[in-house]
Amino acid sequence: MGMDPLRSQFVQAIVVMSTMSKSEWDKKVDVYKRLHWSEEEILAAFQKHPWCMMTSEDKIMAVMDIFVNKMGWEPSAIAQRPILLSLSLEKRIIPRAAVILFLSSKGLLKTNFISATPYNICDEAFLQKFVNCYDEAPQLKKQFTIRAKLIRAKLLPKLEYFHSKGFSRPDLAKFLWSNTTILQRSLKNHLIPSFTDLTNLLQSTEKAITVVKRKPGILDRDLKINVSPKVNYLRDIGVPDSRIVMSLHTWPSIFEMHFNRFQEIVDLVKKMGINPLRLLFVKAIVTVSMMSKSEWDKKVDVYKRLHWSEEEILAAFQKNPWCMMTSEDKIMAVMDFFVNKMGWEPSAIAKRPILLSLSLEKRIIPRAAVVQFLSSKGLLKTSFISLTPYNMCEKTFLQKFVNCYDEGPQLKKLYKEKLDLSRKRN
C-alpha cells in the first residue's frame, strides 16, 4: 500500500487493518466511492491518515456535507485532507468555519479558500493566523468566541438531549449547523416539547429522528401551530392516520407550507377525484405542492403534444401523480420506445402512467426484449399490451415470462445481455 515503515502512519495502518474485517473495510470503501472518491483517492487518504477508514459513516457524511455543501469544496478536496474526518465537528470545524466564511465574505481570503490549516492547528495558532492579524479582529474574535461559548453553554446540553433520544453526534452537528436558529431556542420550553409532539404525531422516536434529519427547520416552529392543524385537516377529509404518519415521515416539507396554501392544494387534489383513503392522495399533494402553475401547465403541454387528451392527463395523474414530475426528456424517451419500438398507441401509456416512473435502461428495455421475443415466437399476442411485465419484481418476472417457457435459457441469456448493457452505460 506504499506506507513508509519509518513514519507513524505505518503503525497506525497496522492497527486499523488489524481492527477491521474485510467486509467492514469494503463497506467503508463503498461509502467513500458513493461520495465520488476514486480508489486512488481512498488509498492516498489512507496513506495520509489511516484512521479515516475507522471513521463512522455518519461522521463522514456530516463532515462531507459541511465542506461540500456549506464551504463549497469538491469531494476530492477532503480526500486530499483526510485529517478533517477525525476532527470534532462541534468544537473545531464549525466554529472555525464560521471565521473562514466571514473572512471570505469580506474578501480577506479567497472565496474558494481550501486548506486544512485553519482546522488542524491549535487554538492559539488559529487566533494568531486567522483572527488577531486582521483589522476585523474584534469582530472575528467575537464571532469565534460566540460560536465557542454557544457550543459550551447552549449547544452541548441540546446535543446531550438529542443524543439521548437516539441521534448520532455527527447527525446532530449537521442539523445544528444547517439550522443555527435552533441554538437560540430554549431546550426546556421549545425543543423538548416540539420533539415530544413530533414523536407523538409519528408514534415513533425513530421516525421523528428521520424527519428532523430531513427537515431540521421543523423543530424551529411550534408544531401545535404549524403542523397539527394540517394533520387535523387531513383527518377531517378522511385521510387515514397511517397515511398521515407516512406522509409526515416521508415528505415533511408539505407540512411546512402556510396553512392556506396547504388547504388550497388538498382541496384541489380532492376535486381532481383522488380518493383520500389512498396513498395516491398524499402523493398528489406532494406533487402539486412542488410544482408552480407554470411548471404544471408546461407538463400538460408536453403530454398534449404526445396526443394525450386532458381527460387522459387527469386520469394518468390520478393513477400515478409522479407522472407530472417526470422530466420531459424521460417522457419523450419512454413514449418513443413504446410507440415506435413496441407499437403501442400513445393512449396505452396514458392508461399505464407508472411506466413513466420506471427505469428505461434497467427495467423497460431488458424486459421489453423478452416480451418481443415471446411475441415473435407466438407465445404472446403480437399486440400484447400490458403493464404487468414491467411493474412486477424481477423474481416474479423471471417466473412468469422466462422460466415457464421451454426457451427459458435463451430468454434468460437475452435478458441478462440487456441488463449488462444498461450497467455498462451507467
Average pLDDT over residues 213-222: 83
62 plus 174 within the same structural domain: yes
Q: What is the CA radius of gyration of the chain?
A: 27
147 plus 74 within the same structural domain: yes
93 plus 161 within the same structural domain: yes
Provide the grid cell at 236.
Answer: 377531517
pLDDT above 90 (res 330): yes
226 plus 131 within the same structural domain: no
pLDDT above 70 (res 143): no
pLDDT tens figures, 177-206: 666 667 668 888 889 999 999 999 999 999
175 plus 199 within the same structural domain: no
Among residues 270, 290, 310, the one where a domain terminates is: 290
Among residues 231, 266, 290, the one where a domain terminates is: 290
Provide the grid cell at 123.
Answer: 487554538
The answer to whether the Cα torsion of 262, 264, 268, 274 is positive or negative is positive
pLDDT tens figures, 10-29: 888 888 888 888 888 989 99
Number of domains in the chain: 2
The per-residue pLDDT for 147 is: 60
Average pLDDT over residues 62-71: 89
Among residues 167, 184, 201, the one where a domain terminates is: 184
Note if the pTM is more than 0.95: no
pLDDT above 70 (res 141): no
What average pLDDT does the chain have? 88
Q: How far apart are CA 191 and CA 220, in angstroms?
A: 8
Write the CB contacts of 406 (distance below 8 Å, at least 6 apart in sequence): none
171 plus 195 within the same structural domain: no
In a domain, 254, yes or no: yes
In a domain, 258, yes or no: yes
CA-angle at 101, arms to 98 and 105, nearest 5°: 140
CA-angle at 48, arms to 42 and 51, nearest 5°: 75
241 plus 271 within the same structural domain: yes
The per-residue pLDDT for 194 is: 92
Q: pLDDT exceeding 90 applies to what percent of the chain?
A: 55
Average pLDDT over residues 105-115: 82
* Of residues 212, 220, 251, 211, the one with CA closest to residue 234: 251
90 plus 133 within the same structural domain: yes
Provide the grid cell at 374.
Answer: 415471446
Give me the domain span that covers residue 262.
186-290
